[in-house]
Amino acid sequence: MISSRERRRKIARRLREWFPGATYHLMERGVRRQEIFQDEFDYQVFTELLKTAAEDNGCMIHAYCFMTNHFHLLVETDDMEIGKFMKQIACKYAMYYNHRYGYKGHVFEGRYKSCLVQTDEYFLQTSRYIHLNPVKAGMVFRPEEYRWSSYRGMVNMQDDGIAFHAKTLAYFKNGGIYGYRISGILENGHSLIRSRPFRAPHHNASLNALIGGGVNVMPGEVSLAHNGVLFLDELAEFSRRTLDALRQPIEDKRVCISRVNGTHTFPSNFMFVTAMNPCPCGYYPSSKCRCTDYEIIKYRGKISGPIMDRIDIQKEVKPVNFFNLKDESSAMTSEEIRIKVKRARIIQQKRYKNKKGMNCNSQMSTSDIQKYCELDAESLKLLRETSERYGYSARKGIAFIGISTRYKTNKIFFPHEKPIK
């Protein structure tokens, strides 16, 4: 005789295997195989819910395909279980679907299907299977003709705001050289980077996409921007968890990624440039702004103090009148700016010719700044008063000392009070 307890144990659902960085092929089907997407608007709503869920749960989507009665995803997790990601998508879309069409009950058929992807061969096979779904169903002749999959964005190397194609493209012939090579973004026929990189990831980028990671560890945007520029537009739209992960790469100029099978270190010495609106609507402080004080505080609060502490120069840009855009009388040309930057670089290279591993001002350490960037009593007094007024940290104070010396002035100008000329 089998006891009821043993019987329940036998029929209980198996726990899904999960670990940080795991990659899955996920599939969810409509209840009784009925359609879950009835028109284009349904697809668009599901797309937005998928973007939000990926951002909230730190997931990286490598491939997707939305069929009429089911969908496929190739997803890489970070440090949150995949079940929470799928639950968020299914619950929110079911609420929307039932509300729109006046239905009740389940929209999806039971538990979602998941397969753990642990090898490169299986990864490529899964990506191929997902993208060929519309072709096998007879909906299109070629996979790039189907709108609601990631294939079109992958072959055209376009960012659709959902899928990250670098890992998939890295497996092919033109995938490139390690670092840039394994990310598949080197120019054809070249084994070295011929110009300084400029990386501008979408604000929906996950933590793994920005910092690096995965089962087969890949460098993130911070490493791909090494010796170049990392530009984050709409900074407040990035998740706070993703932004806070930038602390170590900005401070140490390298990023360490630890996994069960080892620790990987990638360089990340980049110029960090960002831009953001002053409020959610973008019109503050003009009369057009309709945001409440709470909304503005919440919006700006997405950027933590330690991250702001690492941004040395902050500049508020006022709106420009449309008719003033054509007025170039006082504007410097790109060629003039290039000449000034080149001249400054030459001066710095001569200045640090006897310093090993240093060739520009931005590479000065804290001890170097304290040694070479001496301020007079008046400047120190201004620094002390301003630090007490705005609550600046010691790191920020050291940065201001370095900035003031670089611009050859005895005064320290703070970005929000007086522009640096």
Q: Is the pLDDT of residue 191 over 90?
A: no
Mean pLDDT of 311-329: 74
**Residue 51 tokens, joined:** 């973007």
Mean pLDDT of 185-203: 68
CA 63/CA 67 separation, integer angstroms: 13
In this predicted model, what pLDDT tens digit does every residue of 243-256 receive, in sequence order?
888 988 888 888 88
Q: Is the pLDDT of residue 153 over 90?
A: no
CA 74/CA 58 separation, integer angstroms: 14
The pLDDT of residue 46: 94
CA 75/CA 62 separation, integer angstroms: 6
In this predicted model, what pLDDT tens digit does every residue of 97-135 receive, in sequence order?
999 999 988 899 888 898 988 887 888 889 989 999 998
End-to-end CA distance of the chain: 88
Q: Which of 48-52, 308-312, 398-402 has the lowest mean pLDDT?
A: 398-402
Q: What is the largest CA-CA distance in the chain?
A: 94
Q: Is the model more confident about 314 or about 191?
A: 314
The pLDDT of residue 305: 83
Greatest mean pLDDT range, 37-51, 143-157, 218-232:
37-51
Q: pLDDT tier at 96 (50, 70, 90 boundaries)? A: very high
The pLDDT of residue 398: 64
Mean pLDDT of 172-196: 50
Q: Of 250, 253, 164, nearest to 209 (Cα)?
A: 164
CA 147/CA 159 separation, integer angstroms: 14
Mean pLDDT of 57-62: 87
Q: Is 129 helix (H, G, I), strand (E, B) or coil?
A: helix
Q: Is the model more confident about 313 or about 51?
A: 51
Adjacent-strand bridge partners of 63: 74
Q: Is the pLDDT of residue 171 over 70?
A: no
Mean pLDDT over all residues of the chain? Answer: 78
Q: Is the pLDDT of residue 155 over 60?
A: yes
CB 26 within 8 A of CB 75: yes
Q: What is the CA radius of gyration of the chain?
A: 26
3-state helix, strand, coil in the chain (%, to 5): 40, 15, 45
Domains delineated in the chain: 12-166 (3.30.70.1290), 195-311 (3.40.50.300), 365-421 (no CATH)
The pLDDT of residue 348: 78
Mean pLDDT of 387-411: 60
pTM attached to this predicted model? 0.53
